[in-house]
Structures are given as C-alpha cells and as structure tokens.
Structure 1
C-alpha cells in the first residue's frame, strides 16, 4: 500500500473520531463516500493485523506440567506452571481461571 495514502486515511480516521460526529455526518461534511471510508478502514486494519501476525514469531502458549514424583512439593501442589523464570503453584486442581489469568499476563510481557 502506498504510504502517503495510508497516512492520509489514518489522519482522516483520527479527525473523524475527534470531531465527535458520526461517520455518516463526517463523510457528508467532507464530501467523502462512507463506503470509501469503511473500505480504507478495513484495508488498513487488515494490513496492521497481518503485520502483527508476521512479527509474532513465538507462540503465545505456555507449557503446563504436572509435578513429578521427585518434586518435594507434590503433596502441596496439584499443578506447577513454570514459564520464563516464573512459577505458579496451584493446590486446587479446579483453579483453572487463575492459571489462565497468569498465562495471559505473562504472554503480554
């Protein structure tokens, strides 16, 4: 995509949001087709999404391991999650929500 065109439309999107007007009213005032507006909005959003996907080299999953019998904490822990130097020990097998939140937070770092 032509960089100048992308920049122009991103400026227009920002101007529309800052105007406080609806897209229809803003496009009418600027003598632009709302269909053109939405076309460019979708095209730029798709380009950004594809760029992010290409730059995401590592998966956003963490390896979950059940503690081994040799781990001295086996009697206390039902699940131990180790990832990037962090460790989460769950004694309640049903606390999946906490584990999910933990993994989401770590994947954003």
Structure 2
C-alpha cells in the first residue's frame, strides 16, 4: 500500500543540502557516475536526479514589468462612437448602446 511521506520541511532542506554536497563531491572526483555511486553506496539514478535538480534554472519566466502608457485626456464629444474591427467586420458602437447585445455580437464574431 502506498503512503504519503510525512517528511518535514526541515528534513527536506537537510536532504537538499546533503545532495548538493554529494553532487559537488561527485563533480570534483573526476569519476564516472557509476564508479562514484558504487564507492558511496548510492544509486546512479538518484545522483542523476539531483544533478538535474541543481541544473534547472530557478525561473524560466521573466519577471513581469510595468510599461509606461500615455493617455490622451482631451475631451471627446459625447456623440462620438467607437469603431470595433473584427477581421473583415466593423462595428460602430454609439453612446447608450445595449451592452448585452454587444457582448453577444462580439462572442459570435470571435468564434472560428
């Protein structure tokens, strides 16, 4: 029967430090993984796993950043509308438009 491990965070950290030292020692030894593992009574797949863990980049995504935006605050006449272009379709939205109707139309136009 499979049971969930109840390893504490402190034990996990201790294990990480232990394997970090082992990986460093292996790399400094100049030995093959098989020979080094045999000498230290470890399995080569364990060593391979931990080498892979320490070679992973810490973050593959760039951090989000704010970009400057300039807003034209010149007043627009209320009777002006808005033109929305969806591929070959153009919708003119005027003040007082029916929101739900616009949502429905945009949804239909967005479908493949």
TM-score using structure 1 length:
0.42
Bigger radius of gyration: 2
Greater fraction helix: 1
TM-score after normalising by structure 2: 0.41
